[in-house]
Amino acid sequence: MKLRDFILRRLILAIPVVFGVMTMTWFLSYIIGNPVAMYINTNTPASAIPAIRRAHGFDEPLYVQYFLYLSGLFQGDWGISTSTSFRPVTEIILLKFPATIELSMIAMIFAIVLGIPLGILSATHKDQKIDHIMRIFALAGVSMPIFWFALMLKHVLYFQLAIAGLPHLPGGERYTLIRYLSFKYTTGFLLIDSLFFYGDFTLFVDALLHLAMPGFCLGYLTIAIITRMMRSSMLEVLREDYITLARSKGLTERVVIYRHALRNAMIPTVTVIGLAFGSLITGAVLTETIFNWPGLGKWAVRAIFSSDLAAINGFTLLVAFIFVTANLVVDLIYGVLDPRIRFG
């Protein structure tokens, strides 16, 4: 199959998935759940409910409701978040999104920077002590309850050190609130804002320090996933004939691994990085709660406590769209990197 055909086909295949995602959320919130709950809260008088029902078309037949729901989604009407002073869900998402993305990106950088070398190290020292340590490290990452890991990290790196009066990592928030009271976001990405719009390097460093602990905590699972994938794909590649050939040509082990093996071993790892996006956002829900990070995850958890259906619905939709996009991008990259995949 030609590359153009492949890309087109993948894009077209993504359309039913996007519609499926929207249908699923509709099904959950309209059929199983009570859609009126998206527009009311405990303070809404019971007498006002019929008016709300009518205003949002909940009296219409189901297929009309479905159509209204979809057109609402396309027009940016994702409901009203009752737990966040009745502001539209889309507005809050735009407001909180950069914080989550910044955290996820840092976590991803941790994962890639640590995961790939650790995987290579593990593969090249197969069945040696270092390999066993790496495998247990990775296995622990996959089995770690992330909220507990966050609490434990916070306990050791923040709480214990602070009690002992030693320098310690900050225990939450995006920056030291007291020191930069008047700070206003421009893009919402603190690392960018602090350097380019605020021009304060100390704020940048402060932001980095605040990112370190939640970033690592969130990234640990992804580090583990990438390490394992890198290890197994590297081992697979090292068994290939062309590696034996490269060795028999007298190339040093270094050149063999970094020039010949790495490029091919990276291909499956790229897919995993894309899939890890899902786990990052899942993890963000839990991590942000613990580090008091003003992002989407913390907002979603607060929404759960006040039974804010619209917020959860919007959050679910957003995450699914991000996830679908990430998978699509990975698929396309995979297709470009490895021509074999196009003939599936």
Q: Cα–Cα distance between 262 and 85 in angstroms, integer? A: 52
Our finding on whether 161 is near another protein (CB under 8 A) is no
Report, in Å, the least distance between residue 315 CB and another protein. 7
Q: Is residue 181 involved in binding another protein (CB under 8 A)?
A: no
Q: Which two tokens stand for residue 277?
A: 């996006």
CA distance 33 to 26: 9
CB of 183 to another protein, least distance (A): 27
Q: Which stretch binds another protein (CB under 8 A): 57-65, 84-92, 140-148, 191-199?
A: 140-148
Whether residue 88 contacts residue 77, with contact meaning beta carbons closer than 8 Å, is answered with: yes
Tokens of 110: 């941790």
> From the list 36, 144, 243, 333, which residue makes contact with another protein (rule: CB under 8 A)?
144
Nearest approach in angstroms of CB 338 to another protein is 19
Query: Rounded CA gap, 141 and 283, in Å?
Result: 12
Of 64, 139, 177, 336, the one binding another protein by CB under 8 A? 139
Three-state SS for 158?
Answer: helix
Residue 141 vs residues 27, 129, 209, 227: alpha-carbon distances, Å: 35, 18, 23, 10
Q: Does 300 bind another protein (CB under 8 A)?
A: yes
**Coil/strand/helix, residue 261:** helix
Pick the closer one to another protein by CB: 217 or 312. 312
- In angstroms, the CA 177 to CA 52 distance is 40
Q: 109 or 140, CB closer to another protein? A: 140
The token pair that represents 202 in the structure block: 């100390």
Nearer to another protein, 23 or 264 (CB): 23
Residues counted in the chain: 344
Q: Which is nearer to another protein, 89 or 312 (CB)?
A: 312
Q: At what angle do helices 262-290 and 146-153 cross, to 10 degrees?
A: 70
Inter-helix orientation angle 89-124/201-238, to 10°: 50
Q: Scan residues 249-288 and list those touching another protein (CB under 8 A).
A: 278-279, 281-282, 285-286
165 versus 250: smaller Cβ distance to another protein: 165
Residues near another protein (CB under 8 A): 1, 5, 8-9, 12, 16-17, 20-21, 23-25, 28-29, 32-34, 139-140, 142-149, 151-152, 154-155, 159, 278-279, 281-282, 285-286, 289-290, 300-301, 304-305, 307, 309, 312-313, 315-316, 319-320, 323-324, 327
